[in-house]
Amino acid sequence: MMHSMRLAAIAVLAVVMTGCASTNPQDPFEDFNRAMFGFNRAVDDAALKPTATAYKTVTPTFVQTGVGNFFGNLGDVWTAVNNILQGKVESGMSDIARVGVNSTIGLAGLFDVASEMGLAKHKEDFGQTLGRWGINSGPYVVLPLLGASTVRDTVALPVDWKGDVWMYKTPVRWRNVGAAVRLIDQRAALLDASNLLEDAALDPYEFVRDAYMQRRQSLIYDGDPPAGGKN
């Protein structure tokens, strides 16, 4: 599954780099991106959203919390690496401590004991690391199934996939089951937000694009981007 997504991301990047330009310098591939946005919404409406809705309806809240905590704990490993790569060693050490506490006292991460102990949760990926290193985001890109991205974040995806601890889980069938459960759980957590988007946004594509670009800029600089700075 991840191999197919990787190939799709590379293929899309190749297409958009040779695509027709639009008048928006931040979104020069708008025609392509809008078509891909529509495709992704259709897939979501037909498959992912109904599955996530059923999951949220029938799964006890404490189980959903445990699933989110478990995969969040695994994600803290890669977050720690990226914080250290960005020079934020203190945050990286805090992330490592989180993993240690939640993997033991928190029963393999099912319980987020670390947050209760005052160890703040961070979320860092290699795209953010490249941004901290001064690499510009490049144009906005909508990837098949994966959604909003930029050229920089798309290039970073294979590294993020390699840094995903769960992708080394064996046997492969359990890895695939876990990946599917994580995806459904993450989509379920966004149900309210997606419903609000559909109700409130005059142009959902434009809303998602602008929100994504602003959020990535904020994440790269930990909520304090430089005035007039590039993405």
6 confidence band (pLDDT: 50, 70, 90): low
Of 13-17, 24-28, 114-118, 167-171, the range with the lowest mean pLDDT is 13-17
pLDDT of residue 20: 52
Count how many domains the chain has: 1
Asked if residue 178 is part of any domain, the answer here is: yes
Is residue 107 one of the residues assigned to a domain? yes
User: Residue 99: CA atoms inside 13 Å, Cβ hemisphere, count?
Assistant: 16
The structure tokens listed for 12 are 């899309």
Q: Which residue has the higher pLDDT, 227 or 180?
A: 180
Structural domain contains residue 66: yes
Domain span at residue 14? Answer: 2-220
How would residue 9 be classed by pLDDT, with cut points 50, 70 and 90?
A: low
Q: Would residue 139 count as lying in a domain? A: yes
What span, in angstroms and rounded, lies between the C-alpha atoms of 109 and 52?
22
Residue 17 lies in a domain: yes
Answer yes or no: is pLDDT of 2 > 70: no
pLDDT at 100: 98
Contact 216, 127 (CB under 8 A): yes
When pLDDT is cut at 50, 70 and 90, the band that residue 228 belongs to is low
Label each residue of the chain as H, E or C: CHHHHHHHHHHHHHHHHCCCCCCCCCCCCHHHHHHHHHHHHHHHHHHHHHHHHHHHHHCCHHHHHHHHHHHHHHHHHHHHHHHHHCCCHHHHHHHHHHHHHHHHCCCCCCCCHHHHCCCCCCCCCHHHHHHHCCCCCCCEEEECCCEEEEHHHHHHHHHHHHCCHHHHCCCHHHHHHHHHHHHHHHHHHCHHHHHHHHHHCCCHHHHHHHHHHHHHHHHHCCCCCCCCCCC
Q: Cα 86 vs. chain centroid, distance in angstroms?
A: 18
What's this model's pTM, rounded to 2 decimal places? 0.87
The DSSP bridge partners found for residue 143 are 147
The number of CA neighbours under 13 Å toward the Cβ of 145 is: 11
Residue 122 CA to residue 205 CA, distance in Å, equals 28
pLDDT in tens, 178-224: 999 999 999 999 998 887 777 766 899 999 999 999 999 999 998 88
pLDDT digits (tens, 9 = 90+) for 41-86: 999 999 999 999 999 999 999 999 999 999 999 999 999 999 999 9
> CB neighbours of 97 closer than 8 A, spacing ≥ 6?
114, 119
Tens of pLDDT, residue by residue over 71-127, are 999 999 999 999 999 999 999 999 999 999 999 999 999 999 999 999 999 999 999
- The verdict on residue 90 lying in a domain is yes
Q: What is the rounded average pLDDT of the residues 26-43?
A: 97
What's residue 146's pLDDT?
A: 96
Residue 231 located in a structural domain: no
Count of alpha carbons within 13 angstroms of residue 125, beta-carbon side: 17
Question: What's the pLDDT score for residue 199?
Answer: 75
